[in-house]
Amino acid sequence: MLIKIILIIFLALVIFNLFHALVVMLQNREKSPPMSIMLGRRLIFSVLIILFIIVLMFTGVISPHERPF
């Protein structure tokens, strides 16, 4: 259950950073932080999600389905 909560938090952060970059792009203000910072954070959180799932699979905490059919 804790693993699912952690993954949901990471996914929420990815979506939040994506929409925050959209707001920055649409406002186009001089004093706002660059859009690339938010998109870079989104990329970092996406990589962390993938690495977290891979580590959990190798340690045996989660296991993939053998065959889908």
What is the per-residue pLDDT across 12-31, written as a single tens digit (0 to 9) for each? 988 988 888 888 888 877 77
Mean pLDDT of the chain: 86
Answer positive or negative: Cα dihedral of 66, 52, 39, 9: positive
Count of CB atoms situated within 10 Å of the CB of 38: 20
- Cβ(40)–Cβ(2) below 8 Å: no
* Alpha-carbon torsion, ordered 53, 55, 60, 62, to 10 deg: -10
Tell me the mean pLDDT in the region 37-52: 88
d(CA 33, CA 24): 8
